[in-house]
Amino acid sequence: MFHVQPFKIDVQPSVLDDLQQRLRQTRWPESPEDTGWKYGTDPLFLKSLVAYWQNGYDWRKQEAALNSIPQFTAEIDGLSVHFLHIKSKSSNARPLLLLHGWPDGFYRYVKVIPLLTNDYDLVIPSIPGFGFSSRVAKTDDGSANIFATLMKEALGYKTFLVAGGDIGQGITKSLANLYPENVAAIHLSDVGYPNGSEDWSTMSKAEQEFGQFIQGWWYTEGAYAMLHSTKPQTQAYGLNDSPAGLASWITEKFNAWRTQDGTIEDHFTKDELLTNIMIYWVSQTINSSMRTYAVDDAQNQASAKKVSTPTGVAVFPGDAPTPKEWAERRVNLKRFTVMEKGGHFAALETPEAWAKEVDTFFKSIQ
């Protein structure tokens, strides 16, 4: 019997007071004029974000909005697992587990909740090491085992659907491969990437070009992942101590991984950016979230094996340009859609398009 209990976010005033003091005392680095995002986070944007954080952002308003969503914790395998659980009013609703990645969290999915609850019971957890779950980093398989227990034993769902991206993509594939009798179908926004171990003679031209793109991407954009995978503790001291530093580390990814038109604020509001950052700040989970990369043993996880469970894949223009042939190599592909807009955080950036695509796929799988 698993003890599931209600949960409310309740940040102590002393934490917010300390945050304001740290923001006031930010020691800004020098930067060349008009650099924009060329060398990383745009200094002008970050200063405007921090100024709003101090003088305009209302955490208590955001906290109340989050607390209006049913939240719970469950003790599983010695960890406290935080999750949202929104039950549909429909008697025919199917359970749908939504899994986030980095550097976001359960907050990725708050805008799609009203779009999906007519037909689905939604379970939206904080991955171990993230948000309000225990600050313990787990592998794909480790998290998959925890979420299988959550769905089957704690919540009583014997069969369920799963959707995820980024780290959530790996956990979703592990769930499908470890629990094929329970996972009816999955939906992914990426299926993993070529790592150089593939036999290129068996790959299509599109797959080879994709592999070259990913290799180039790692050189230009992948430094964060190398740090997370090798020395996350070194980076954590600064990010856990400086809210401006944390905002820089996270916001740069929201800018780089969005639809590449307009400015970052054309895709995410300052309130959305800061609420996601605040969840990391008040829970002090930036270290354990980064450590997830270091404990990952990708080639020895169930997520590395081809998935036989029916799978839908949506490729968003702000994310890696996955070709259909690569998706077919990795999963039992039943639907493949190249989306017109959206990026790595599509459920937050373009919630209507993401929810419609996911809903269309799952309704095609009975």
Residues assigned a catalytic role: 166, 293, 344
Tokens of 209: 């070009």
Q: Which stretch of DSSP H or E encloses residue 136?
A: none
Neighbouring residues of 309: CB distance < 8 A, sequence distance ≥ 6: 176, 177, 180, 183, 184, 185, 186, 331, 332
| Residue 188 backbone phi and psi in degrees, to 5 | -130, 150
State the CB neighbour count (10 A cutoff) for residue 92. Answer: 6
Report which of 174, 170, 150, 166 is spatially closest to residue 97, judged by C-alpha positions: 150
Contact 276, 126 (CB under 8 A): no
Is the CB of residue 145 less than 8 Å from the CB of residue 171? no
For residue 21, the 8-state DSSP code is H
User: Which tokens in the block code for residue 338?
Assistant: 């190249």
